[in-house]
């Protein structure tokens, strides 16, 4: 087991996963918290469409989500071509694709707890802040974030756990290229496929330990 844990391929997949999480986790907070607040308090056709799109990764199979994103973001897709022409960036089959897959998989679980926490008491505080002349940004930072801190923390833990175990979307956007885009979850898939169950067991135990830590943190957040 020690030899399997220190294998260069395993070490690479762990380092790559940490890099992906270093991008995805801040995005969960910077994007998920405002989206949850916006969807929780707002009404309208645009917000209804946005809510529907955010919910898609929860109801569609990951492979289907990855396929649709590949059509849009691939080298011949409309957004993929635009990214290449403007930024000279290939979104798919690289680190960018892996990070995007993790964000897409986890963002609904970040948004939903925050959205559910936007209730009457918070809205009264927001209205009071507006009456006192505070800007929307100041109100969000000094009123909304402190009021929703437990929901935000719960969403962060849930989204991170979902992103760590992501396979379907990552497989299509990242390509599962050995030595380049094989994260821990994809390396488990590769190890099982090649019959290296010891390697798969070591990596699965690592993900299980992290997931249990996230569950413990989530329970402490709920009871704190």
- Report, as an integer, the average pLDDT of 3-20: 88
Contact (CB, 8 A) for 73 and 173: yes
Name the CA radius of gyration of the chain, rounded.
20
How far apart (Å, rounded) are the C-alpha atoms in residues 182 and 90?
17
DSSP SS3 for 1: coil
pLDDT band of residue 210 (cuts 50, 70, 90) is: very high
- What does the pLDDT read at residue 223? 55
Q: What is the Cα–Cα distance from 97 to 94, expressed in whole angstroms?
A: 5
**Higher-confidence residue: 202 or 119?**
202
User: E strand or H helix at 182, and its extent?
Assistant: none
Encoding tokens for residue 28? 């969960």
Phi, psi for 145 (deg, rounded to 5):
-60, -50
Which pair of tokens denotes residue 72?
A: 């849009």
What tokens appear for 148 in the block?
């929703």
Mean of per-residue pLDDT scores for the chain: 90
pLDDT in tens, 168-194: 999 999 988 888 999 999 999 999 988
pLDDT score for 218 = 84
Per-residue pLDDT at 49: 92
**Placement of tokens 């030899």 in the chain:** 3
Q: Are 62 and 105 in contact (CB under 8 A)?
A: yes
69/123 Cα distance (integer angstroms): 36
Kindly indicate the confidence band of residue 44, based on its pLDDT and cuts at 50, 70 and 90. confident
Q: Provide the pLDDT for residue 182.
A: 92
Those residues with Cβ within 8 angstroms of residue 193's Cβ, 6 or more apart along the chain or in another chain: none
What CA–CA distances, in Å, run from 208 to 126, 164, 212, 214? 40, 10, 6, 10
Per cent of the chain over pLDDT 70 is 98
**pLDDT over 60 at 224, yes or no:** no
What integer is the mean pLDDT of 139-155?
Answer: 91
What's the pLDDT score for residue 219? 83
What digits encode the pLDDT tens for the residues 50-93?
Answer: 999 999 999 999 999 999 999 999 988 999 999 988 888 889 99
User: Looking at residues 26-31, what average pLDDT do you find?
Assistant: 96
Taking the C-alpha atoms of residue 200 and residue 193, their distance in angstroms, rounded to an integer, is 10
Contact 119, 66 (CB under 8 A): no
Q: Residue 179 has which token pair?
A: 């030595």
Q: How confident is the model at residue 222 (pLDDT cuts 50, 70, 90)?
A: low
Measured over the CA atoms of residue 211, residue 216, residue 222 and residue 224, the dihedral's sign is negative
**Would you give the DSSP letter of residue 92?**
S
What is the SS3 assignment for 2? helix
Q: What is the pLDDT of residue 88?
A: 87
pLDDT score, position 5: 75
For residue 3, pLDDT over 80 is answered with no
């Amino acid at each position: 087991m020690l030899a399997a844990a220190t294998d260069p391929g395993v070490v690479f997949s762990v380092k790559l996963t940490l890099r992906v999480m270093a991008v995805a986790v801040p995005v969960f907070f910077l994007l998920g918290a405002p989206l949850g607040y916006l969807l929780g308090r707002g009404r309208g056709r645009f917000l209804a469409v946005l809510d529907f799109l955010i919910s898609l990764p929860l109801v569609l199979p990951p492979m289907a989500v990855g396929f649709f994103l590949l059509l849009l973001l691939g080298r011949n897709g409309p957004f993929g071509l635009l990214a290449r022409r403007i930024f000279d960036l290939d979104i798919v089959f690289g680190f960018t694709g892996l990070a995007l897959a993790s964000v897409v998989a986890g963002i609904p679980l970040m948004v939903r707890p925050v959205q559910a926490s936007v209730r009457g008491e918070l809205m009264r505080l927001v209205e009071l802040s507006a009456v006192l002349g505070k800007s929307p940004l100041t109100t969000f930072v000094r009123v909304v974030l402190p009021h929703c801190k437990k929901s935000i923390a719960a969403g962060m833990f849930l989204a991170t756990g979902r992103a760590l175990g992501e396979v379907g979307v990552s497989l299509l956007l990242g390509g599962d290229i050995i030595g380049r885009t094989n994260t821990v979850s994809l390396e488990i898939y590769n190890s099982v496929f090649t019959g290296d169950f010891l390697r798969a067991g070591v990596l699965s135990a690592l993900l299980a330990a992290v997931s249990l830590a996230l569950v413990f943190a989530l329970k402490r957040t709920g009871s704190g």
